[in-house]
């Protein structure tokens, strides 16, 4: 199955779309470290190279990419939604 989302490692709660994905599509996610694949219903349009939530992320949840925290959500984010500066903020300031 041709994948359209890459995940760095199994601990990650977001993946990166490698091409634009339209809302309503069933995206195939491939893990770069294990090569495992699974599918994810995408609930809004994801531009190429933007991140998509792989699981529900309630407000103030630490978001994990590269197996590390990259910030926290500023609002509830559902699995399959786009994760970017509108709902994710640095933990540093």
| Token couple for 70 | 């990259």
What is the distance between the alpha carbons of residues 74 and 41, in angstroms, rounded to a whole number?
22
Q: Are 7 and 29 in contact (CB under 8 A)?
A: yes
What is the distance between the alpha carbons of residues 56 and 75, in angstroms, rounded to a whole number?
11
Given candidates 9, 25, 37, 69, which one binds another protein under the rule CB under 8 A? Answer: 69
**Could you tell me the smallest distance in angstroms from the CB atom of residue 80 to another protein?**
17
What is the distance between the alpha carbons of residues 90 and 74, in angstroms, rounded to a whole number?
10
Asked if 1 interacts with another protein (CB under 8 A), we say no
**Could you tell me the smallest distance in angstroms from the CB atom of residue 83 to another protein?**
7
Interacting positions 6-65 with another protein (CB under 8 A):
6, 8, 16, 18, 30, 32, 47-51, 65
Residues that bind another protein (CB under 8 A): 3, 6, 8, 16, 18, 30, 32, 47-51, 65-66, 68-71, 83-85, 88-93
């Amino acid at each position: 199955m041709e994948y359209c989302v890459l995940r760095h490692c199994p601990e990650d709660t977001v993946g990166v779309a490698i091409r634009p994905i339209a809302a309503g599509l069933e995206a195939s996610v491939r893990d770069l470290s294990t090569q495992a694949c699974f599918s994810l219903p995408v609930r809004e349009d994801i531009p190429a190279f933007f991140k998509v939530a792989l699981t529900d992320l309630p407000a103030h949840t630490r978001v994990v990419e590269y197996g590390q925290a990259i910030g926290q959500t500023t609002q509830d984010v559902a699995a399959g939604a786009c994760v970017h500066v509108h709902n994710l903020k640095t933990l540093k300031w």
